[in-house]
Amino acid sequence: MGEKIPRVALIGIGLIGSSIARGVRHWGLADEIAVQSRRAETVATAERFGLGDRYTTRAAEAVDGADLVILSIPVGAYGAVAQEIAPALKPGAIVSDVGSVKVSAIRQVEPWLPDGVHFVPAHPVAGTEHSGPEAGFTELFIGRWCILTPHAEVDRTAVARMRALWEGLGAQVDEMPADHHDMVLAITSHVPHLIAYNIVGTAAHLEHVTQSEVMKFAAGGFRDFTRIAASDPTMWRDVFLHNREAVLEMLGRFTEDLTALQRAIRWGEGDMLFDLFTRTRAIRRGIIEAGQETEAPDFGRPHIVEPSLETGSPDGAERNPGP
Amino acid sequence: MGEKIPRVALIGIGLIGSSIARGVRHWGLADEIAVQSRRAETVATAERFGLGDRYTTRAAEAVDGADLVILSIPVGAYGAVAQEIAPALKPGAIVSDVGSVKVSAIRQVEPWLPDGVHFVPAHPVAGTEHSGPEAGFTELFIGRWCILTPHAEVDRTAVARMRALWEGLGAQVDEMPADHHDMVLAITSHVPHLIAYNIVGTAAHLEHVTQSEVMKFAAGGFRDFTRIAASDPTMWRDVFLHNREAVLEMLGRFTEDLTALQRAIRWGEGDMLFDLFTRTRAIRRGIIEAGQETEAPDFGRPHIVEPSLETGSPDGAERNPGP
């Protein structure tokens, strides 16, 4: 797992930052963890959970003497924070991040960093719809991918250290150019979030269907989208503003295909619908085989027998359906 | 729970039909269950699972002497099956179904039914992405809604019997006009399925992003959509062909809103994005409070510590994160 890091500074301590803190502690990946958030209330929560060894609301103070600095903040704040911490960075330190957009991350951070400080951008492809230091958990990154997008000229020892850290947290590590990352994530994450937010918004503003009906009958499919549409608004606003070109390109593909489906429905072209609906099953199978999804039906959501109904044999009580 | 039904005939024994069979047996809602599927292989599977008392591939044989007949087949097959079973229906029998489209169900079935047979269309809003008699389970309908859409002139005793059956299976029962049902389900189920199928199709046909990359990095959001896009292709083809008007109307709303979002991204209108992303959280909260969704993060997907990583304290092992 590589050598232990003397001091890690976590700038931002939300879902991702606090999961890193828990994992670093759990697997003993660093000697000391400095925790920072701009909000005193968040710092207090982090302290209550014992996520670090030192706590501060000032980023420059947190990075002082740190061998590794990880930004776990919305992408829109990178430039200002990089400017703020730059003078306090230790020579030879590694700066990294966890953001969902990488070209913009590099563009915002690199100009501020002094010579001899290594920027190794990282993106752990993991998360839940919950936010804040209380939402993190040790196991979040296990089996998930973490993508590193360093420039070709970045020091390979620094890259190797980041790889070791993420493997230590349970992740699989991949490396690719930042612009390719932004294109891959536009289709696997950003556009899915956009259309989830969008349909939830559409459903909330209809004349002939009430919000109460939308909520009651959400189990027909809609509720799956609401999970993603409950993700952190600031983080996602920044993702769309900072990965504009790739998102607009992938969104263009999506709407082009959707228009073709719409036309097939209008003209009753059942074969086209059936063909698409058959092909899409293989993709899910591939994701399950790649270890990136559970095989349990309905995501393994609990299907529970209420005690009042439990009049027959007890074998159906409080269990998930078998696969 | 109402009086026990002497004989139920299940026409079609897939995910929904077989879950009804299991529930009827488990809670003792009928004396005898006749099971039918057109495919001999499916009938054999149903028999292996012990889902009924009598088995046949012939629908007319299954409904002979039945007090209640439930169609659990793709909506596109309703007309032909109604024609086939009509001469064999017992006077006073109730015919019902479980289809996701109700105006078309009525239009296809009613003309064939003899006087004195009562058609009470029903739609349990429940399911998983799996299909076939082996995919069903007793608890599927518990806490979910079942919508009845009988004409105003349908015998109220027949409607009450269907209400009692679904309550006996653990569902909550609602009643509304068929055309309103089709509009509500278009936005809560049909359009969500269409856009899920669509984005999975889009992701499978890109030049700059490989299918392998789409699968590896699916945990960023995409994988949520693949569950819905793994649903039964025949069933969903028929839903779109038979609820065309409502689906096209709701799809029009969706694309209108998406175009506005696209424009906001292009012009950097962060406030508009942030406002939408904030409002959508309330809808999920409402669905959880309505008992139609789990509160557990990430749908309660398992986050498991691999044994090879389990070097620290054991408290993180094989558990879901707390809420």
- Cβ separation B224–A278 shorter than 8 A: no
Q: Which residue does chain B place closest to A268, by CA atoms?
A: B241
Interchain contact, B322 vs A224, CB within 8 Å: no
Chain A residues within an 8 Å CB radius of B277: 197, 229, 231, 233, 236-237
Q: How confident is the model at residue B293 (pLDDT cuts 50, 70, 90)?
A: very high
Give the number of beta-carbon pairs within 8 Å between A and B: 426
Q: How far apart are CA B111 and CA B126, in angstroms?
A: 28
Q: Which of B185, B188, B197, B263 to mutate to test the interface with A (most CBs of A within 10 A)?
A: B188
Distance from CA of B29 to the nearest CA of A (A): 11
> Closest approach of chain B CAs to the CA of A11, in angstroms?
22
Q: Over the stretch B193-203, which tens digit does the pLDDT of each residue have?
A: 999 999 999 99
Predicted local confidence at residue B55, as pLDDT? 98
**pLDDT tier for residue B2 given thresholds of 50, 70 and 90:** low
pLDDT at B302: 87
Are residues A209 and B184, on separate chains, in Cβ contact within 8 Å?
Answer: yes
- Going by pLDDT thresholds of 50, 70 and 90, the confidence category of residue B310 is very low
pLDDT recorded at residue B74:
98
Is the CB of B228 inside 8 Å of chain A's CB atoms? yes
Residue B316 contacts A where some CB pair is shorter than 8 Å? yes
DSSP codes joined into one string, A131-152: -SGGG--TTTTTT-EEEE---T
pLDDT of residue A312: 42
For B185, the closest of A26, A202, A217 (CB atoms) is A217
Q: Are B38 and B57 in contact (CB under 8 A)?
A: yes
Per-residue model confidence (pLDDT) at position A230: 96
Nearest to B18 by CA among B56, B61, B70: B70
**What tens digit of pLDDT does each residue of A234-249 get?**
999 999 999 999 999 9
| C-beta separation of B45 from B74 below 8 A | no
pLDDT at residue B303, as a whole number? 82
Torsion over CA: B285, A211, A216, B71 (sign): negative
A34 and A13 Cβ atoms separated by less than 8 Å = no
Contact between B170 and A309 using a beta-carbon 8 Å cutoff: yes
**How far is A240 from A317, CA to CA, in rounded Å?**
44
B215 to chain A: nearest residue by CA? A287
Measured distance CA(A300)–CA(A246) in Å, rounded: 33
Minimum mean pLDDT range among A240-249, A293-302, B88-97, B178-187: A293-302
Residue B39 has pLDDT above 80, yes or no: yes
- Least CA distance to B218: which residue of chain A? A188
> Residue A166: what pLDDT?
98
**Disruptive mutation site among A142, A145, A172, A209 for chain B (greatest number of B CBs within 10 Å):** A209
**Cβ contact B148:B121 at 8 Å:** yes
Q: What is the mean pLDDT of residues B101-121?
A: 98
> What pTM did the predictor assign?
0.93
Residue B317 reports pLDDT greater than 80: no
Q: Average pLDDT for residues B176-181, to the nearest whole number?
A: 98
Q: Could you please state the CATH topology (level 3) that the domain comprising B180-268 is classified under.
A: 6-phosphogluconate dehydrogenase C-terminal fold (1.10.3660)
Query: Cβ B215–A292 below 8 Å, yes or no?
Result: yes
Domains B5-176 and B180-268 share a fold: no
Could you tell me the mean pLDDT of each successive run of 10 residues in chain A, 323 residues long?
88 98 98 98 98 98 98 98 98 98 98 98 97 97 98 97 98 98 98 98 94 95 96 97 98 98 98 97 94 93 60 40 41
Residue B66, min C-alpha distance to chain A (Å): 24
- H or E segment at B40? helix B40-48
Q: Do A188 and B218 touch (CB under 8 A)?
A: yes
Which residue intervals of B176-269 are DSSP H helices?
178-185, 191-203, 211-216, 222-228, 233-242, 244-266
Instruction: Please report residues of B whose CB lies closer than 8 A to that of A222.
Output: 187-189, 192, 287
ipTM confidence: 0.92
Does the CA dihedral B148-B154-B160-B165 come out positive or negative? Answer: negative
Map out the domains of chain A as residue ranges. 5-176, 180-268
- pLDDT for the residue A241: 98
Q: Per the CB < 8 Å rule, is A189 touching B309?
A: no
Q: Which residues, 6 or more positions from B262, have their beta carbon under 8 angstroms from its beta carbon?
A: A248, A251, A255
Summarize the confidence of residues B264-286 as an average pLDDT: 96
More confident residue, A307 or B133: B133
pLDDT of B164 > 70? The answer is yes
DSSP track, B259-296? HHHHHHHHTT-HHHHHHHHHHHHHHHHHHHHTTSS--S
How many CB atoms are located within 10 Å of the residue A171 CB?
23
Whole-number Å distance between alpha carbons of B311 and A298: 32
Nearest residue to A304 (alpha-carbon basis) of B294, B299, B225, B75: B294
Confidence of residue B60 (pLDDT cuts 50, 70, 90): very high
- Report the residue of chain A nearest B144, measured CA to CA: A219
Residues in chain A: 323
Q: Is A278 on the interface with B (CB under 8 A)?
A: yes
* The architecture CATH gives domain A5-176: 3-Layer(aba) Sandwich (3.40)
Of A268, A279, A281, the CB nearest to B241: A268
